[in-house]
Amino acid sequence: MKYCSECGEKVRISVPEGDNRPRYICSSCQFIHYQNPKMVVGCLVEHEEKVLLCKRAIEPRYGLWTLPAGFMENDETTMQAAQRETQEEAGADVEIVQLFTMFSLPHIDQVYMLYRARFKEFAFSAGSESLEVDLFDEADIPWDEMAFPVISESLRRFFADKKSGKYKIHNGAMLKKSEMKPGQQTTSFSVTVLDDD
């Protein structure tokens, strides 16, 4: 952000009175431009032991696999956003079963929410943002060609819950290595999770 979206003059970065964080503030009209995390919402669609994956036709991670998901829009609910993204990217009309994962990704200012879902009618096809859409058994999932760690983590938890016979709601955070405290595990992401019982 370089200019004020209210008056068009230059913004500066400083801590407003009574606040404790630097914000973009207009040098002319003094408008404070807050910036907040975005929600990425999608579906984990299950059908006969398989899940629906999309091969990305867009950057970032062109050609890699993911779940149908995208930025939540204004004027919709989280569930509507999950259904819309699944329709747009995977051509699938689904009903929501239950919230499955909600992971904060503070290094990119996003919160990922994935819902378990099932087909209302069995049909899917690649939308404009997907090269290919298909159903995969756990054993056939292209684990080495997944686009995002948060999606791989969600899929691993899905198949683990499936085996255990009980789907939890997993709420946590994926932190980059550089954000971890000493003694935390040394994979590229650390996952802290508060599972419901």
Among 38, 122, 137, 142, binds its own copies (CB under 8 A): 38
- Closest C-alpha among 45, 59, 133, 51 to residue 93: 45
Alpha carbon 196 to chain centroid, angstroms:
20
DSSP state of 116: E
Minimal distance in Å, beta carbon 103 to its own copies? 9
Binding mask 104-133 for its own copies (x = CB under 8 A): x-x--x-x----------------x-----
Stretch that binds its own copies, among 42-50, 143-151, 155-163, 171-179 (CB under 8 A): 171-179
Number of residues in contact with its own copies under rule CB under 8 A: 45
Output the CA–CA distances (angstroms, integers) from residue 71 to 48, 68, 80, 81, 111, in the order listed: 28, 11, 12, 8, 10
Binding of residue 36 to its own copies (CB under 8 A): yes
Binding of residue 16 to its own copies (CB under 8 A): no
Of 70-109, which residues contact its own copies (CB under 8 A)? 71-80, 96, 98-99, 102, 104, 106, 109
Q: Which two tokens stand for residue 55?
A: 């091969």
How far is it, in rounded angstroms, from Cα 159 to Cα 168?
Answer: 11
Stretch that binds its own copies, among 49-57, 140-148, 167-175, 182-190 (CB under 8 A): 167-175
How far is it, in rounded angstroms, from Cα 91 to Cα 154?
Answer: 21
111 within 8 A of 103, measured Cβ to Cβ = yes
Alpha carbon 109 to chain centroid, angstroms:
11
Nearer residue to its own copies within complex by CB, 163 or 166? 166
Minimal distance in Å, beta carbon 100 to its own copies? 10
Exposure b/e, 24-39, CB count within 10 A at least 16 = b: bbbeeeeeeeeeeeeb
Nearer residue to its own copies within complex by CB, 64 or 191? 191
Residue numbers at the binding site for its own copies (CB under 8 A): 1-11, 18, 21, 33-39, 71-80, 96, 98-99, 102, 104, 106, 109, 111, 128, 169, 171-173, 194, 196
